[in-house]
Amino acid sequence: KPSAMVRFLPPSLGRLVTLAVQVRLHQDRLSTAAVGAGDVRPFAAATPPDPLAVAAGSTSHRAVRRAWAASPVEEGRGSKRKRLRKFLFGSMPKMTERKGQSPLVPLESGARTEAEKPVRAGEALQRLMDGNERFVSGNAEVLKDWDVSKTGALAEYGQKPMASVLGCADSRAPVELLFDATPGDVFVLRNAGNTLSNAEGSMVGSLEFSVNALGVKLVLVLGHTECGAIKGATAAMLKAQEAGAQPAQSTLDTLLAGLSPVVQQAQLDLGGAASDKEIADQAVAVNVFAGIEKLLVYSESIREKVKSGEVQVHGAVYDIATGKVDFLGQHPRLPLILGMQTAYKAGR
C-alpha cells in the first residue's frame, strides 16, 4: 500500500511514490479490462516512462504529469495506453502548485484563482473596456455562467484579480457590474469621492497589497458624473471664498476639505465665470488625475513598478446616466511625477 511505503519518506517524495503506485494500479485495471473485451495485445508493449525517473531532481507533481503527457501514444483503435492517458489526464483539470497549500490547484475552475497568471496592463484595460461595452449595450454575459462552484474555488484557492479599481462609494456606480466582471476579476476599493487625500489609511495600503501580493498590473482610478462628494466640496470651497474658511465640524467636513485643491484647480481651468455645476463637472476629471498623482507620490513600491513599466495606473470617468466609461489614460504629467520623486529621493 502507498501509505505503508511513504511513512518513512519526506512528504514531497512520498507524494511522488504514491502517484507512481496509483499509475501502476490504473495500468493493471485497464489491462484486465482490455483482455476481457478481447483486446489481447499486452499492455506492456508500450511501457510508459517511470514517473520517478522522469521527475528525478524534482518534487513536483507537474514534472510527472509533463513526462506522461510528452510520452508517445499508440494511434491504433483501442490503444490501452491512449485510454490510460485520457483517464489520467483528459478528465482532470489543469493543475499547478501553490506554496503553503494543497499541491494541486485547478486552472479550469472558471474563476480567477491563484493558479491563474497575472494579466498584463494593456490586456486588463481592454477587458474592462469590452465589459463596459457589454454593460452599456445590455448584453452583460459574465454572470450568466456563474455558479456556486466557482465561488467555492475562489474561497479554497485564493484570488488573482486582473485589475484594481479605486471608485466612489456612490450606490449608482457599482464597479463590478459596469465592467461586466465576476467575483475575483477586480480588486475594488471605494470611498466618497474616490479620493486619496491622505497617505495614511487603508486605500494606499490596499492598492499596494493588490499590486505587490496579488500581482495586479493595472490600477484604475474611477470617478463618475454627478459625484456628491465633489459637489459638496465645490459648495464648501465657494462658500469659504465668500465667508472665509470655517473649522471642520465632522469627519465629512475633513474629507470635503481634502478635495478643495481639486475644486480650486477646476475653477482655475475654467476661469472665473464658470458656474457651480461646471466647476463640479470639471473637478470630477481633475480629481481622477489628482488621485493618480497622490498614489504615485505616496506609494514607493507602486511608483517603482510604474517606472519600470510593470504596472500602469489609468484614469476613467463613469457616466451614471448612460453607463458609459470614458477611459482617460495615464497621467499626462507622468514622466514629470516619476522624475520629481526620483530627484527627491536622491536629495534626501
Specify the pLDDT at position 61: 45
Which residue matches cell numbers 521527475?
A: 55
* Average pLDDT rounded to a whole number, residues 88-112: 50
Instruction: Give per-residue pLDDT as tens, 176-185.
Output: 999 999 999 9
pLDDT at position 108 is 56
The yes-or-no verdict on residue 324 having pLDDT over 70 is yes
- The pLDDT of residue 104: 41
Nearest to 315 by CA among 219, 226, 228, 179: 219
For the chain, give the mean pLDDT.
Answer: 77
The pLDDT score that the predictor gives to residue 213 is 94
For residue range 178-227, what is the model confidence (pLDDT) as tens digits? Answer: 999 999 999 999 999 999 876 566 899 999 999 999 999 999 999 999 99
pLDDT level of residue 109 (50, 70, 90 thresholds): low
What is the pLDDT averaged over residues 259-277? 91
The pLDDT of residue 96 is 46
Q: Is the pLDDT of residue 81 over 80?
A: no
Judged on CB neighbours under 10 Å (0-12, 13-18, 19+), 248 is: middle
Mean pLDDT of 312-341: 95
- pLDDT recorded at residue 47: 46
- Checking if the pLDDT of 345 tops 70, the result is no
Its sign, for the CA torsion 174, 175, 180, 182, is negative
Who has greater pLDDT, 254 or 50? 254
- The dihedral sign for the CA sequence 16, 22, 28, 34: negative
SS3 at position 292: helix
The CA-based angle 104-163-205, given to 5 degrees, is: 95
Closest CA to 259 of 213, 343, 195: 195
Distance in angstroms (rounded) separating the CA atoms of residues 195 and 207: 13
Per-residue pLDDT, 11: 62
Residue with the larger pLDDT of the pair 50 and 120 = 120
- Phi and psi at residue 191, to the nearest 5°: -150, 170
For the entire predicted model, the pTM comes to: 0.68
How much is the pLDDT for 174? 94
Say how many Å lie between the first and final Cα of the chain, rounded. 65
Angstrom distance (rounded) from CA 243 to CA 266: 20
Nearest partner of 309 among 289, 338, 281, judged by Cα? 338
Quickly list DSSP for 203-250.
Answer: HHHHHHHHHHTT---EEEEEEETT-HHHHHHHHHHHHHHHH------S
| Lowest-confidence region among 94-98, 159-163, 231-235 | 94-98
pLDDT of residue 241: 82
For the segment 110-127, what is each residue's pLDDT rounded down to a tens digit?
Answer: 788 888 889 999 999 999
Higher pLDDT, 345 or 94: 345
Task: Please report, rounded to a whole number, the percentage of residues in the chain having pLDDT higher than 70.
Answer: 64
The model's pLDDT over 128-171, given as tens digits with 9 standing for 90+, comes to 999 999 999 999 887 777 777 788 888 888 899 999 999 999 99
Q: What is residue 244's predicted lDDT score, i.e. its pLDDT?
A: 73
Q: For cell 511625477, what's the residue?
A: 337
Alpha-carbon dihedral sign for residues 96, 123, 133, 155? positive
